[in-house]
Amino acid sequence: MQNFGGLASKPNQPEDESLRRWITEKQFDVYGIPETDLYWPRVRPNLQLHERLKEWWEQDTVHTVRAHNQNQRCDSVTQWGGTAQISRGQAAFRVMESGRDPTRLGRWVWTLYRGKGNRRLRVVTAYRPCKKTESSPYATWTQHRNYFRGKKLEREPRAAVLEDLQTEINGWAGAGEHVVLMMDCNEDVRSVAITTFLNACGLRDIVLERHGSDAPRTYKRGSHPIDAIFATHSVQCVRAGYAGFEDGVQSKRSDHRCLWFDVLINSIFGHEMPPTNKPQARDSNVMIHE
């Protein structure tokens, strides 16, 4: 998972090649993008997410889901916010369905995977907006605030995304699903607000769990870890970590680390996957450990 400053809106851009190379070399099974910054109705047909990925890998080995704020019409191809998630290889073959934030604000996307005996894993990629003021009319926070006010709801957007995710996650977990949440929290993930959210959802930070609370900053101009991978306690993490700022997808606005993790496939799907030729150590956002 990495917020690398948005997807390219023009063809043959270096960030596209960087994304393709990073995912391919590190053999991601699932890759979350918690800020796409595109207004998809104005993106060229050949640059729609699934179409551009068809040029990189075999079509039947890739599944994508992406979301933007459908409540706001844009004259430009740029719309701040939005989310996307890519599944490849064995993960793509296991996809049951995928979906989006029901408010149509593009705050998160999810993919549901099926295992043996109807075991299910739902992976969510979410973006929580930064704190903004009234002077930022196009900011993600302002978009969300305007949506809620249009519904005559005085909801603070940063609190709202946690509240709404909590409702969804508790419903999914209550139905017996394993849940993984990859999120740019735009707040220290050790804060009271995030800790309270995790406790209410029955989640824990699987990267901090393995490396301790003295985590590195995940945003170049920050001083705290603001990106995280959370999971229900049934998800058994084997390895997890942070890539360097010089690694991961590189773009003009790339300023977040990539976070990655490995899990035991037996803990989710009940049996081993067929072996694949993967390196022993990977800086990648991987969900399968063999």
Q: CA 276, 123, 3: angle at the middle one, nearest 5?
A: 90
Distance CA 41, CA 9 (A): 12
> Was domain 14-269 assigned CATH 3.60.10.10?
yes
Instruction: Supply the pLDDT for residue 134.
Output: 63
Q: Would you say residue 151 has pLDDT above 80?
A: yes
The DSSP result for 153-201, as a single string, is: ----HHHHHHHHHHHHHHHHHHTT-EEEEEEE-SS-TTSHHHHHHHHHH
Instruction: Supply the pLDDT for residue 60.
Output: 78
For 116-143, how does the pLDDT look when each residue is reduced to its tens digit (9 = 90+)? 888 899 999 999 999 876 667 789 999 9
Give 236's Cβ-side CA count (13 Å radius): 9
Instruction: Supply the pLDDT for residue 212.
Output: 83
Instruction: Supply the pLDDT for residue 135.
Output: 61
Contact 273, 261 (CB under 8 A): no
Q: Would you say residue 219 has pLDDT above 60?
A: yes
Average of per-residue pLDDT across 46-63: 90
Q: Walk across the sheet containing 120-127 and list its strands.
A: 95-100, 108-114, 120-127, 178-184, 227-232, 203-205
Domain range list for the chain: 14-269
Q: For CA atoms 223, 258, 168, 288, give the dihedral sign.
A: negative
Instruction: Supply the pLDDT for residue 210.
Output: 87
Partners of residue 110 on adjacent β-strands: 99, 124
Number of Cβ within 10 Å of residue 289's Cβ equals 18
Structure tokens at 173: 């977990």
Q: Would you say residue 224 has pLDDT above 50?
A: yes
Write down the residue that tokens 């990859």 correspond to: 182
**Pairwise pLDDT comparison (280 vs 47), residue with the higher score:** 47
What does pLDDT average to over the chain?
Answer: 89
Instruction: Supply the pLDDT for residue 98.
Output: 98
For 71-116, how does the pLDDT look when each residue is reduced to its tens digit (9 = 90+)? 999 999 999 999 999 999 889 999 999 999 999 999 999 999 998 8
Q: Would you say residue 34 has pLDDT above 50?
A: yes
